[in-house]
């Protein structure tokens, strides 16, 4: 078997166009994501509204395009009214989802202010279909979106928000199949409630985009049957079915962990097949797309072994510190999402700050970038336009979970206005560099703008409070166009070497 990898790029063959909302994220009232994360009155960098401006700068740099809020498991017990109006009048509540005390000092208005200051991002609101239902969803919609002249719209105006929030994208609950979820339901029960809620919300605004809950993971015993039943009820009134997936290294099986995207791609293809099967049964020409609104590397096993919390405010919870290996897997998951951009048109990295997040903060102290920050920021900045079809010819390696897996995982995007191409690639080998040849058919590319790599001699290297820039991307020398590339004449091949255990971005003009 060849020790080299090869891909062919041709502008005539593409998967689809990237929806910018593929680079979304997630803010939940969980741990320190909100309090001492994005919101910390009294912090040296806090603005007049209590938002940390050091975090705002990093969120802008990250390139987040949509943010899901306020949960997550939190939303299934949440009363939205608790988070509006004068902050000093808001009630303190027990949050059953995370055994914490919620102060409600940060709510809907503060979240919308945060989005405005981030710039370039849009809201994705979840409604509580765990302990509440159709009426409460309609009331939240009216408060958030109706211009004026009704009790709830005037209440918003009285709270200081004259203009409506104009939320276009809504989640109909969260992980309602999960027995851990407050108000968990079976597929028929949830499907009927979601359909009723969707129809009612569309009576106010028929142009909303609505997301029905899919399975909490592919490993759920009701997976696929859940999606089929829920969509049987909701197919005509929703636009998306949700997907959630988290990956971790188990029992030292790093080879399988590095191949996590094999599972993610299988999961996506299985959900798409189920959606299309229901559409065929209903004789519908409509396509249901995917909102992959929770994904990340998450050391869930460690979290499950932790002692239960005792109703603290903003406890340190799920604060995974990510290694180079985690960042390479994370980048591979991003590649998987891009490779399915025809149907995955919304995705949310869970979460944004402190809680399994690319950005970390210290109360009263600094904010810094985790290793996973860099693949996301690079993909958001340069992974736009059309996703080209990429069939990988690569040496393989054995894994315990997924069998033989290619060492190379890759995708590429093209900007049709400028002709610029970006290749994103992961080398899964822990020990060997991987030579890569890219056949550039019909692409008028004359120079390599940059080859950036995230790797390290220590695969467990991390960025921490003490060493916030221990791991950063660096430039790779020697990546070049071959063939006839000279004096402005387009090249026909790209030749690169991908270091062991590495995330790579190669930009071509």
Say what angle helices 53-62 and 373-382 make with each other, to 10 degrees: 60
Let me know whether 114 and 155 are in one domain. Answer: yes
| DSSP state at residue 89 | G
Of the pLDDT bands very low, low, confident and very high (cuts 50, 70, 90), residue 491 is confident
| Closest to 424 (Cα-Cα) out of 433, 414, 399 | 414
**CATH code at 34?**
3.20.20.80
d(CA 180, CA 187): 15
Query: Could you give phi then psi for residue 304, rounded to 5 degrees?
Result: -70, -25
Query: Could you give phi then psi for residue 308, rounded to 5 degrees?
Result: -60, 145
Let me know whether 245 and 375 are in one domain. Answer: yes
Q: What is the pLDDT of residues 163-175, one digit of tens each?
A: 999 999 999 999 9
Print the SS3 string covering 366-415. CEEECCCHHHHHHHHHHCCCEEECCCEECCEEEECCCEEEECEEEEEEEC
Let me know whether 233 and 264 are in one domain. Answer: yes
pTM of the model: 0.96
Let me know whether 327 and 402 are in one domain. Answer: no
CB atoms within 10 A of CB 162: 10
Q: How many CA atoms lie within 13 A of 107 on its CB side?
A: 25
CA angle 109, 115, 117 (to 5 degrees): 105
Beta bridge mates, 495: 437, 480
Boundary-marking domain end, from 359, 382, 405: 382
Assess contact for 371 and 322: CB atoms under 8 A.
Answer: yes
Q: What is the pLDDT of residues 413-445, one digit of tens each?
A: 999 999 999 999 999 999 999 999 999 988 989
Let me know whether 229 and 282 are in one domain. Answer: yes
Which range is least confidently modeled, 170-179, 243-252, 487-496?
487-496
| DSSP state at residue 460 | T
Assess contact for 178 and 184: CB atoms under 8 A.
Answer: yes
* 3-class secondary structure, 99: coil
Let me know whether 253 and 397 are in one domain. Answer: no
d(CA 355, CA 98): 12
d(CA 237, CA 212): 9
Let me know whether 346 and 400 are in one domain. Answer: no
How, if at all, do strands 93-95 and 14-17 pair? unpaired
Let me know whether 378 and 402 are in one domain. Answer: no
Query: Could you give phi then psi for residue 433, rounded to 5 degrees?
Result: -65, 155
Boundary-marking domain end, from 382, 408, 443: 382
Assess contact for 191 and 228: CB atoms under 8 A.
Answer: no
* 85 Rama class: left (phi>0) / alpha (psi -120 to 50) / beta: left
Active-site amino acid positions: 175, 294
Q: What is the pLDDT of residues 260-310, one digit of tens each?
A: 999 999 999 999 999 999 999 999 999 999 999 999 999 999 888 888 889
Of the pLDDT bands very low, low, confident and very high (cuts 50, 70, 90), residue 487 is low
pLDDT of residue 441: 84
What is the domain range of residue 495? Answer: 5-10+388-508
Q: Two tokens at 334?
A: 């991003």
Let me know whether 283 and 413 are in one domain. Answer: no
Per-residue pLDDT for 1 more than 50? no
Let me know whether 251 and 267 are in one domain. Answer: yes
Boundary-marking domain end, from 344, 361, 382: 382
* 3-class secondary structure, 5: strand
Interval 329-353 mean pLDDT: 98
Assess contact for 447 and 355: CB atoms under 8 A.
Answer: no
Interval 129-133 mean pLDDT: 98
Q: Two tokens at 158?
A: 């009285």
d(CA 260, CA 217): 14
Interval 475-480 mean pLDDT: 96
Per-residue DSSP letters for 43-89?
STTB-TTSBBHHHHHHHHHHT--EEEES-SGGGGG--GGGGSS-GGG
Per-residue pLDDT for 484 more than 90? no
């Amino acid at each position: 078997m060849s020790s080299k990898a090869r891909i062919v790029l041709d502008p005539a063959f593409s998967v689809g166009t990237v929806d910018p909302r593929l680079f979304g994220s997630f803010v939940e009232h969980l741990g320190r994501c909100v309090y001492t994360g994005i919101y910390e009155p009294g912090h040296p960098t806090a603005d007049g509204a209590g938002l940390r401006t050091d975090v705002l700068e990093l969120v802008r740099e990250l390139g987040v395009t949509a943010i899901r809020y306020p949960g997550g498991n939190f939303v299934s017990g949440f009363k939205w009214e608790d988070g509006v109006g004068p902050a000093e009048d808001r009630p303190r509540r027990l949050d059953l989802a995370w055994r914490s005390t919620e102060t409600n000092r940060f709510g809907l208005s503060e979240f919308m202010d945060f989005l405005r200051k981030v710039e370039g991002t849009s809201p994705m609101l979840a409604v509580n279909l765990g302990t509440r239902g159709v009426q409460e969803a309609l009331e939240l919609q009216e408060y958030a979106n109706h211009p004026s002249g009704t009790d709830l719209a005037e209440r918003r105006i009285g709270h200081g928000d004259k203009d409506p929030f104009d939320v276009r994208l809504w989640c109909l609950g969260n992980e309602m199949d999960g027995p851990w979820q407050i108000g968990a339901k079976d597929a028929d029960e949830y499907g009927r409630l979601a359909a009723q809620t969707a129809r009612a919300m569309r009576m106010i605004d028929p142009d909303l985009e609505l997301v029905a809950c899919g399975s909490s993971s592919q490993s759920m015993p009701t997976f696929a049957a859940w999606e089929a039943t829920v969509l049987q009820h909701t197919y005509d009134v929703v636009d998306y079915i949700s997907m959630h997936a988290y990956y971790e290294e188990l029992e030292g099986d790093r080879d399988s962990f590095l191949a996590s995207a094999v599972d993610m791609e299988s999961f996506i293809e299985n959900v798409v097949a189920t959606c299309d099967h229901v559409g065929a049964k209903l004789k519908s020409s409509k396509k249901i797309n995917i909102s992959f609104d929770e994904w990340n590397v998450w050391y869930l096993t460690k979290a499950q072994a932790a002692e239960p919390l005792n109703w603290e405010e903003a406890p340190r919870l799920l604060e995974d510190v990510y290694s180079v290996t985690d960042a390479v897997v994370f980048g591979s998951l991003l590649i998987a999402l891009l490779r399915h951009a025809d149907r995955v048109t919304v995705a949310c990295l869970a979460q944004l700050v402190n809680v399994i997040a690319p950005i970390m903060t210290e109360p009263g102290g600094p904010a810094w970038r985790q290793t996973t920050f860099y693949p996301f920021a690079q993909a958001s900045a340069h992974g736009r336009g059309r996703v080209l079809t990429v069939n990988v010819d690569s040496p393989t390696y054995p894994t315990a979970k997924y069998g033989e897996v290619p060492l190379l995982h890759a995708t590429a995007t093209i900007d049709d206005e400028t002709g610029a191409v970006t290749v994103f690639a992961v080398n899964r080998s822990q020990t060997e560099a991987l030579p890569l040849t890219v056949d550039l058919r019909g692409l008028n590319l004359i120079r390599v703008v940059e080859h950036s790599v995230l790797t390290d001699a220590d695969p467990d290297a991390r960025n921490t409070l003490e060493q916030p820039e221990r791991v950063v991307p660096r430039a790779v020398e020697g990546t070049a166009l071959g063939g006839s590339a000279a004096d402005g004449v387009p090249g026909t091949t790209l030749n690169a070497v991908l270091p062991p255990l590495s995330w790579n971005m190669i930009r071509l003009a």
